[in-house]
Structure 1
């Protein structure tokens, strides 16, 4: 099956259809797993490598930085050279970087390895969704995306549990080394079963200047937020602003832009991505602060803290695909409005997590409600973003939405500790961290509520 004839011919119930979803889930699942699994291990990594709070933030944000900066380039590469091909290359790259993470002797090497890991994720992540969009017949795409979201969301949600188990019973380094066998299986499935698809009209040249400017913008802004108050912070902000202006100019003038700015002319596409920024900023920050709160203040071990988040896993497993089906039936506006508002309510219920925490009354209800809102929202959001652009731009659309989601988490994890007065070694001080946690959770709830309100005002159902 060649790249052109292989487009839009696969049915979900066939062997090939199941293989496409399986490869996409395994690949993107690894990247989502590493986006969350590290949170559980941060406390132990900090003690083992003698890391500061800023270094712990960079261990999280170094990965998100390169992923968010380069994911558009990854989408363009997939559209140009073949989504399966770039997906496989990214998976191998990700595995090698994971090996380096697992062998890191100090925080500096671990941060550098995490940046490389994020670059590999930037190659495989947009390809995972673009393979589905390009391969499946139109009537099966929503269900396939729902299955991808549900199964992939499990990887993200199970990360804290798996991380806790490995940290407590093995070594924190195994949270990275476990990616090697997963990557091997992913490559085998993709190479043997997934049809190649690409955009025959993709630009012949790639916008490496745009990728560099995007990296400078996010890197400068992230550095300024983490090192707020330092002598270099104003310079970092200046670099970020100049890079942002340069990026817009480059994309407008280039005949081969990494991000064709014209796709933002679609109101639904722009609104859905703005909502993504708000919601995923809150999602990343809630998981970052909650897992540390449970360990630093509530006295949970790494495994206990990881197991505490299981309600999100269960909700995503049982209901994410149903959220996709509901969105297909009634339209995305209500799921994309109600989902974030429900998540905001769940976040506020987590304010009871303190030194005298009761899991059954202070943790379980909040995380269950949070998970219900997430399961309701994710698949309709993803389907809405992809449906707003022509099929040939599936890689770019997927890359934009993933970049926005990662950038939201990146900026929230960088900014919120500063905003709530948490600096230096205070992540290990129960009194200081407890005070910061409450403020951070309230801010996250506000962001989620704003995301729901934005959806209600801007998102329209198809045909309306």
Structure 2
């Protein structure tokens, strides 16, 4: 008598199919994992006034609460993808999830601003392992003919998570405490680990070899940290100018060292040759200008709505909902339009429309009405963002050689995060915000209007740069992907969506 053998719980890599149980499990793990980081990127800003009051934080403390996470994420996200390729994508994804959850627990229990910022930096390390891993799992697990569909589902569900983030954050702050903005991550993290260990196949790049670029990662982190520290500290009363100058110069020197290290490394996380293509460099320059403006707006807008306009945390979070809904509905159409007419016009018009939306936001004051003063401005802003992101991402992939497609996407994502990091650090200094100004509605409102003008200027600069440098035929050239990227509906308010190598999406 033959005893039937039980089929393994985890299917082999590359054999998972859409519409089957194994496909649903893999998608669940990837969507929940990336959804945590997307929620975190939009939910924390809503809680800033409440946590500032509870921990008696200065404006610099609020800046570091945002930038502590962005700093380590931007510096290590390229390295995180390489670790997954070498040691196993599921293993690194699970490790990143556990790390992210433990850091979230530390954030939620932090008794002081300093400990909260340290925990946020640790959270960014987990995000750097988790963020590229969620897409890599889908790419490696699904059968070739189902990958594009699976990535589309992952992308759309991620957009939903990004849309719900501000609402969820506002509700948690109003109904319970700002601490639950972080503590809530523990539940989905536990589900991700359980599903991944049980149902997600392991995979790795068998050709990966050589040393990891730890020197490059450390130089990047040190450089961004030094410049960020100098910019945030310069706005604080009583700051030591000499110490800040030394820190800023040291940060700039570390970034210069990063360039040298990457040129000399045999296995650089950022191959210098990728910038030989002028369209790739130009697209990243536009990315820096646009996402610097976005970083500043999303940092200050929800705070201003609570401090100056007197909105509740939930109402302030709801103000961002039209942006994400518009992006989910229109980004794919924007991407297809860019394929027909080229990316130059959308990448010029989109940032200009975003700038117009910011000018409309200057109408927000203590008597602001949500429907007449907030919604029209954020809708115009969302329309411009939807017109910009998909063509920009497609241009980055279309300009890079196919073998660099994954790296090109990671570089573009890191550039956007670094731009937001610098903007959050520098914008309060530029507009004269410091100390406890976020408790003063009049002072904060005046500075917020000035910040909107600065961010509108950055968007206008991005539009001019796109018009002057981006070719209309870049998506139809010999290096353009054979098929369009499948992530057009991703709600990329924090950074452009990571994309798989084009050759894997056929």
Relative to the length of structure 2, the TM-score reads: 0.83
1:53 corresponds to which of 48, 53, 59: 59
Worse overlay, 223-232 or 10-19: 10-19
Worse overlay, 43-52 or 366-375: 366-375
Q: What is the root-mean-square deviation in Å for CA atoms of aligned residues?
A: 2.7
Unaligned runs of 5+ in 1: none
1:463 corresponds to which of 457, 468, 476: 476
C-alpha distance after superposition, 1:167-208 (max 9, x if no partner)? 000111110011111222333444455555544443421011
1:168 aligned residue: 174
Q: Give the number of equivalent residue pairs.
A: 460
1:118 aligned residue: 124
In 2 relative to 1, CA 338–138 (structure 1 residues): closer, same or farther, beyond 3 Å? Answer: farther
Worse overlay, 425-434 or 441-450: 441-450
2:217 corresponds to which of 211, 231, 240: 211
1:287 aligned residue: 298
1:409 aligned residue: 420
Unaligned runs of 5+ in 2: 1-7, 478-506
Q: In the aligned structure 2, how far is the partner of 1:234 from the partner of 1:278?
A: 25
Kept in 1, the 8 Å contact 2:283–2:395? The answer is: yes
> Which SS does the other structure have where 1:227 is aligned?
helix
The 5-angstrom pairing of residues 29-178 of structure 1 reads: 29-132=35-138, 147-178=153-184
2:371 aligned residue: 360
> Which SS does the other structure have where 2:251 is aligned?
helix
More helix by share: 1
In 2 relative to 1, CA 219–73 (structure 1 residues): closer, same or farther, beyond 3 Å? Answer: same
In 2 relative to 1, CA 138–386 (structure 1 residues): closer, same or farther, beyond 3 Å? Answer: farther
How far 1:129 moved relative to its partner? 3.5
Kept in 1, the 8 Å contact 2:394–2:475? The answer is: no
How far 1:458 moved relative to its partner? 1.7
> Which SS does the other structure have where 2:476 is aligned?
coil
1:432 aligned residue: 443
Q: In the aligned structure 1, how far is the partner of 2:16 from the partner of 2:284?
A: 28
C-alpha distance after superposition, 1:363-408 (max 9, x if no partner)? 0011112222323333343344345445654553343222111111
Q: In the aligned structure 1, how far is the partner of 2:346 from the partner of 2:158?
A: 19
In 2 relative to 1, CA 451–440 (structure 1 residues): closer, same or farther, beyond 3 Å? Answer: same
Q: Does residue 422 of the first structure (1) align with residue 433 of the second (2)?
A: yes
C-alpha distance after superposition, 1:276-314 (max 9, x if no partner)? 222211112111111111111111111111122221232
In 2 relative to 1, CA 343–129 (structure 1 residues): closer, same or farther, beyond 3 Å? Answer: farther
In 2 relative to 1, CA 243–258 (structure 1 residues): closer, same or farther, beyond 3 Å? Answer: same
Pick the structure with greater CA Rg.
2
Kept in 1, the 8 Å contact 2:274–2:400? The answer is: yes
How far 1:27 moved relative to its partner? 2.1
Worse overlay, 257-266 or 162-171: 257-266
Relative to the length of structure 1, the TM-score reads: 0.90
Q: In the aligned structure 1, how far is the partner of 2:249 from the partner of 2:326?
A: 43
In 2 relative to 1, CA 376–25 (structure 1 residues): closer, same or farther, beyond 3 Å? Answer: farther
